[in-house]
Structure 1
Amino acid sequence: MADNEFGYTTWGMDWVRLAEPLRRTRPEPLLPRARSIARNNGVQATIEGRIVRGAIHRGGQASVTHVEVAPLPRAAVTAIAEVIADPTVLTDDMHRALAIAGISPAPALASVDCSCSARSAHCVHVYAVFYEIARRVDEDPRLALELQGYFQAAQDDPETTVEAPRWVPINTLEPADYFAIAPVPIP
């Protein structure tokens, strides 16, 4: 895998697999353009906790991509800590040890959004952000666990695992809590 442009480490390949899943039966025509955008530094990605925001400017168009990574469950954090005693330097052998132990360090996405006009779940901008993050994870594999909230969860109290939902389903709202119903006087 050393000759791969993106995902030459197993940690980075997990991010490439988000763009190129093994279960895909036909080629995705957007992937060469997405790799070109990432290769030519067309993605300005900022990482804040588990959220990656990518700004992509091509020609006269600009798109903002938002990728939120799902947090690791408490059981996975504990299991990873048992397998990897010192996560300061992560190697491919540590990734294989996690796989042998039955723990998948691959990221799961909580949400993906792009401001472009494409009407699909994944557009060229989202794929470009995946490749950019794969490149960054290849440079620093700790980022793979950091994006999943591993280091934050390892420091937190195990009793505080409840996370506030990002969205509230509309059918769970009670209108009476938000609107006062005043009696109408009858003449």
Structure 2
Amino acid sequence: MADNEFGYTAWGMDWVRLAEPLRATRPEPLLPRARSIARNGGVSAETEGRVVRAAIHRGGQASVTHVEVAAATRAAVTAVTGLLGAAGIVTDDTHRALLAEGHRPAPVLAATDCSCSARTPRCVHVLAVLYDTARRVDENPRLALELQGCFDASADDIPELAEAPRWTPIHTLDPADWFTPPDPADP
């Protein structure tokens, strides 16, 4: 068996590091099961934009898992398009060149969600999706950049600031905007 079953390219290793962070202080007991699920074809994943949706079957259980990747910054997109040029081939040399220019090509997770009963952002299903995505990125490194939205628009179209927040703080809402007194002329 290969030493690096998942993450044998620099691009894939970035995804493995999401499941196995170097800053971990104790072993994660779910990692062997997650690798087994990904290795044995238990993950049916598809990507749409910056979201990976997966159906995971393990024994008699099934879970639906979503992993959303944060958008790349304008500077990173500009650097990627400059390095790739017309050929558009993504290699480990491209990864090293991005690091040399000061851009971190590793993905950042914006959100994770799973339908399982674990109710944790790092359940076995999310970890299996990360390993499966690492395997798919090893096969096609361009997918790592596609999941960060590097090819969705030109660098001029990407806003400088982060995208809109996923949640609206409750104190910013005005009840008068939501509830209006009934109109006496309305029957």
TM-score (normalizing by structure 2): 0.89
Give the Cα separation in 1 of the matches to 2:30 and 2:87. 35
Residues 77 and 153, structure 1, Cα contact 8 Å, conserved in 2: no
Report matched runs for 1:163-178 at 5 Å: 163-178=163-178
Q: Deviation at 1:169?
A: 2.8
Q: Deviation at 1:24?
A: 0.7
Give the Cα separation in 2 of the matches to 1:57 and 1:102. 40
Q: Which residue of 1 aligns with 2:123?
A: 123
Amino acid at match of 2:48: E
Give the Cα separation in 2 of the matches to 1:17 and 1:89. 23
Of all paired residues, the percent bearing the same amino acid is 69
Q: Deviation at 1:54?
A: 1.0
Give the Cα separation in 2 of the matches to 1:183 and 1:60. 56
Residues 87 and 142, structure 1, Cα contact 8 Å, conserved in 2: no
Deviations 1:66-125 (A, max 9, x none): 111000111221122233324622111111111111111100111111111113221000
Residues 45 and 53, structure 2, Cα contact 8 Å, conserved in 1: yes
Residues 43 and 55, structure 1, Cα contact 8 Å, conserved in 2: yes
Change (3 A) 1:88 1:28: same
Q: Deviation at 1:52?
A: 0.6
Give unpaired runs (5+ residues) of structure 1. none
Residues 74 and 158, structure 2, Cα contact 8 Å, conserved in 1: no
Q: How many residues align?
A: 181
Q: Which residue of 1 aligns with 2:145?
A: 145
Say what the alpha-carbon RMSD is for the aligned residues: 2.0
Give the Cα separation in 2 of the matches to 1:11 and 1:160. 23
Report matched runs for 1:51-62 at 5 Å: 51-62=51-62
Q: Does 1:72 align with 2:86?
A: no
TM-score (normalizing by structure 1): 0.89
Amino acid at match of 1:61: Q
Change (3 A) 1:6 1:160: closer
Q: Deviation at 1:9?
A: 0.3
Give the Cα separation in 2 of the matches to 1:87 and 1:105. 19
Give unpaired runs (5+ residues) of structure 2. none
Residues 80 and 103, structure 1, Cα contact 8 Å, conserved in 2: no
Change (3 A) 1:44 1:130: same
Amino acid at match of 1:10: A
Q: Which residue of 1 aligns with 2:33?
A: 33
Amino acid at match of 1:140: N
Give the Cα separation in 2 of the matches to 1:77 and 1:87. 16
